[in-house]
Amino acid sequence: MGVTQMPSDYSSYYSGPKLVHHGGKCCGIKTLYNLGADPTSVASSLDLVSCDNSDATGEDVHCKQRFFTDEAPKETYLERVQRYIAYCKKRRPAGLIETCIVVNCDIGWLTQDTWVKPLEKLGFIQALEWRNSNTGRLIRMYYLAYNETGHNDENSFVDDDPFEEDDDD
């Protein structure tokens, strides 16, 4: 199958997890969203789109622009997330992926508690938890920091305590 379009938003017919640029020009963070309530749900297939490197060359990218440009078959949401992680590690061998989920919600189709264990098994770490002031729902933010470059250890660029004083001062 040939390239069908330039990088853009996901099409309106697509259902499944989305991997997009964080936005702006500088941080390189990728955002994973639209996880749904069930990791075993089936995501739509994706067509191949033209790949550009605007995020790596300091050009503007917007927060709905597809980062994943390969084609993908119908597969579970969890398999799609795994595909996205592998793609990020290949295209941007050091980086960070963030995602937020709704937890402890009494609306069954909305709660994403079933994602907690799969995200943690994939290496995501809970960063924050807060109550959304718009809805009152409990939100958890997770991130996956990775470094496939072979320089230092996997999390060498993550400072666990940025406010700790250096000993050499």
84-93, 120-129, 154-163 — most confident range? 120-129
Q: What is the pLDDT of residue 28?
A: 78
What is the pTM (predicted TM-score) of this model?
Answer: 0.80
Asked if residue 37 has pLDDT above 70, the reply is yes
DSSP one-letter string for 43-101 = EPPB-------TTTTT--B-TTSBS--S-B-SEEHHHHHHHHHHHHHHHSSEEEEEEEE
Domain boundaries, the chain: 18-147
User: How do residues 134-158 score in pLDDT, each as one tens digit?
Assistant: 888 999 999 999 988 766 554 444 4
Q: What confidence tier does 57 reach under pLDDT thresholds 50, 70, 90?
A: low
**113: closest CA among 15, 42, 35?**
35
Comparing 12 with 109, the larger pLDDT belongs to: 12
* 30-33/94-103 β-pairing: parallel
**16: closest CA among 1, 31, 35, 30?**
35
The span from the CA of 62 to the CA of 1, in Å, is 27
